[in-house]
Homo-oligomer: A and B are copies of this chain.
Amino acid sequence: MQRTLCSDLSLATGPVSLEGWVHRRRELARVTFLVVRDRSGLAQVVLPAGTPVPPEETTIRVVGTAIANPQAPGGVEVVDATIEALTEPAATPPAELWRPTLDVSLPTLLDHAPVLWRHPAQRATWELAAASLRGFRATLDGSGFTEIATPTFVESATESGSSVFEVDYFGRPAYLAQSPQFYKQQMVGVLERVYEVGPVFRAEPHDTVRHLAEYRSLDVELGFVRDHRDVLAVLRDVLAGMLSAVHEHAAPAVARLGATIPVVPEEIPVIHFADALALVGAPADEPDLAPEHERALGAWALETHGSDFLAVEGYPMAKRPFYTHPWTGRGLEARSARTSTADGEWSNSFDLLFRGLELVTGGQRLHRPSDYDAAIRARGEDPADYAAYLQAFRHGMPPHGGFAIGLERWVARLVEAANIREVTLFPRDLHRLTP
């Protein structure tokens, strides 16, 4: 008999075959209730008292008759059922998965991830992640972008000061890419508009609620931009596409979580870095925003613009990587009179704050080979050490820019998780390498 999914049971009457997990068994004096869980949802099976039902989490097949019962979930339940176990009786789970919330400590959650991800509310967080990925790609596929796949193994650890993982690569050292930055730029030279979703690796010995040693980076890069504002416009559409996909493909997950899905404004409000410092009362020579500044700016954006998102543009060049394009002035109208510091120190880059936390870094990159040579020499390095990367620029590159979104950080903010590990399937950090 063809399998019926639990979510389709409300459409069924007569003989049905369900396949799934024993979500809950409840033995009353006169009757035994069995709730079956499959990928689509839950279904209720009513059995005569005393019917043996395998322990919770055992996989089973239930063959029975679907009948209407207004009190059953979905208005239909299964009666006259026979139950066939598809595996051995399951061991008792580390927490009762049928309870509405999964009330366990973070270490328990992570140690028993293969089982505890089955809890419908826990699983829902990942369903938001998967839907977000769909929306990310659909938006870009519809805008002339091409997906690329760039290498994890890189020869040298040059991009930034943060630590990298070293690998024994056939007897010589190699490093795991901290980002596809250099490669996505090179591919702008080929395809103009590219994106990549993949793991990136940070060996920084952080032990915070926001950092992982391995995370999924959603990387975008595009050519023929005027400046970072064109990049921000694409980011806006991508975020809107991600949220729209969450509504379209993960509505039950949103409901299960009671999550508040934000709306992306038609134009994300932008504030210049110097104005942002002034707004939060920080000294004008601060080179970066502290977490409390980000929170204050997030609150300000919500109050003033009704927006969960705020872009801060013009970050000081000193805090940005060497390939960052200096400030060129568009968006000047957004700056207050007091931001009269020499423009040279600002950049055509931005951070996007989502609910008062940095979610995305982006901006315009240098594209002239002579600018690269100068920027690399200014760091006391030799452009020859970047020869492979600089090839693309010496052979003609357009003005371009891009951004990267951290998938886990995105979901954590979406569901307002206290710790990024709660929304990562199998997190990797300073201490954790298993399960």
Q: Is A74 an interface residue (CB 8 A)?
A: no
Once bound together, how far apart are the Cα atoms of A421 and B312, in whole Å? 42
Q: Which of A216-261 contact B (CB under 8 A)?
A: 216, 223-224, 249
| Chain B positions within 8 Å of A19 at CB level | 224, 398
| Chain B positions within 8 Å of A12 at CB level | none
Once bound together, how far apart are the Cα atoms of A183 and B130, in whole Å? 16
Q: Are B126 and A146 in contact (CB under 8 A)?
A: yes
Q: Are A126 and B148 in contact (CB under 8 A)?
A: yes
A188 shortest CB reach to chain B, Å: 10
- Considering the complex, give the chain B residue whose CB is closest to the CB of A119: B190
Q: Is A351 an interface residue (CB 8 A)?
A: no
Q: Which of A183-234 contact B (CB under 8 A)?
A: 183, 186-187, 189-193, 197-199, 201, 203, 205, 213-214, 216, 223-224
Q: Are B91 and A395 in contact (CB under 8 A)?
A: yes
| Selected contact of A167 from candidates B141, B167, B187, CB within 8 Å | B167
Q: Are B114 and A388 in contact (CB under 8 A)?
A: yes
| Chain B positions within 8 Å of A395 at CB level | 57, 90-91, 93, 114-115
| Selected contact of A214 from candidates B93, B151, B168, B214, CB within 8 Å | B151
- Considering the complex, give the chain B residue whose CB is closest to the CB of A249: B141
Q: Is A342 an interface residue (CB 8 A)?
A: no
| Chain B positions within 8 Å of A397 at CB level | 59, 87
| Chain B positions within 8 Å of A176 at CB level | 167
Q: Are B370 and A88 in contact (CB under 8 A)?
A: yes
| Selected contact of A189 from candidates B115, B191, B203, B435, CB within 8 Å | B115
Q: Are A391 and B433 in contact (CB under 8 A)?
A: no
Q: Are B155 and A434 in contact (CB under 8 A)?
A: yes
Q: Is A147 an interface residue (CB 8 A)?
A: yes
Q: Is A58 an interface residue (CB 8 A)?
A: yes
| Selected contact of A391 from candidates B58, B114, B367, CB within 8 Å | B114
Once bound together, how far apart are the Cα atoms of A370 and B137, in whole Å? 41
Interface locus among A263-271, A288-296, A424-432: A424-432
Q: Are B155 and A199 in contact (CB under 8 A)?
A: no
Once bound together, how far apart are the Cα atoms of A407 and B112, in whole Å? 32
A79 shortest CB reach to chain B, Å: 22
Once bound together, how far apart are the Cα atoms of A288 and B221, in whole Å? 45
Q: Is A306 an interface residue (CB 8 A)?
A: no
Q: Which of A26-58 contact B (CB under 8 A)?
A: 38-40, 57-58
| Chain B positions within 8 Å of A367 at CB level | 59, 86-87
Q: Are B396 and A87 in contact (CB under 8 A)?
A: yes
Once bound together, how far apart are the Cα atoms of A367 and B58, in whole Å? 11
Q: Are A392 and B165 in contact (CB under 8 A)?
A: no
Q: Are A39 and B149 in contact (CB under 8 A)?
A: no
Q: Are B170 and A167 in contact (CB under 8 A)?
A: no
Q: Are B435 and A187 in contact (CB under 8 A)?
A: no
Q: Are B58 and A396 in contact (CB under 8 A)?
A: yes
Which 8 pairs show the lowest CB-CB distances between chains A and B? A388-B435, A90-B396, A39-B192, A57-B396, A114-B186, A114-B392, A59-B398, A117-B190
